[in-house]
Structure 1
Amino acid sequence: MQVDYTKLWSRYKEMGHKNKTDLIEMAGISTNILAKLTKGEFISMDSIQRICKALNCDVGDICVINNVEG
């Protein structure tokens, strides 16, 4: 399984943000979490909750789980 955060970055851009690192302060996440988001890796539900709160959205608005066999 893979996680796709394309929706997150689209929403973030629509809100007028250009620099991904601003999400660190906005959502109270670490640089490691930002790196995982950029690489499409899984992050904790706590981090997802923080991001959703900062962007005023739901989980389905920022990520999609893709079933990929491999």
Structure 2
Amino acid sequence: MKITYKRLWMLLLERDIPKSKLKEDISLSPGTMSKLNKGEEVSLSILLRICEYLNCDIGDICEAVPCK
């Protein structure tokens, strides 16, 4: 299984929030943003900070998908 953050990017688009604003508002490091953009794993604490910021559930921002 791997993780995808497509739901996060769609939610940001729906709410008209640029990635740069998300990064700045919750103090994400450049490395963490890079991992999110590449679909790599980030810590649960980061995902929970994003959920708190967006007032959503973790399933609203990421999804586990089978590896191809």
TM over 0.5: yes
Counterpart CA distance in 2 for 1:15 and 1:55 is 9
Counterpart CA distance in 2 for 1:27 and 1:57 is 15
Aligned CA-pair RMSD: 1.2
TM-score by length of 2: 0.90
Structure 2 unmatched ranges of 5 or more: none
- Pairing 1:18-57 to 2, within 5 Å after superposition: 19-57=18-56
Give 4+ residue runs of structure 1 displaced > 4 Å after superposition. none
TM-score by length of 1: 0.87
Question: Across the two proteins, how many residue pairs are aligned to each other?
Answer: 68
Matched-pair identity in %? 38
Matching residue of 2:67? 68
Structure 1 unmatched ranges of 5 or more: none
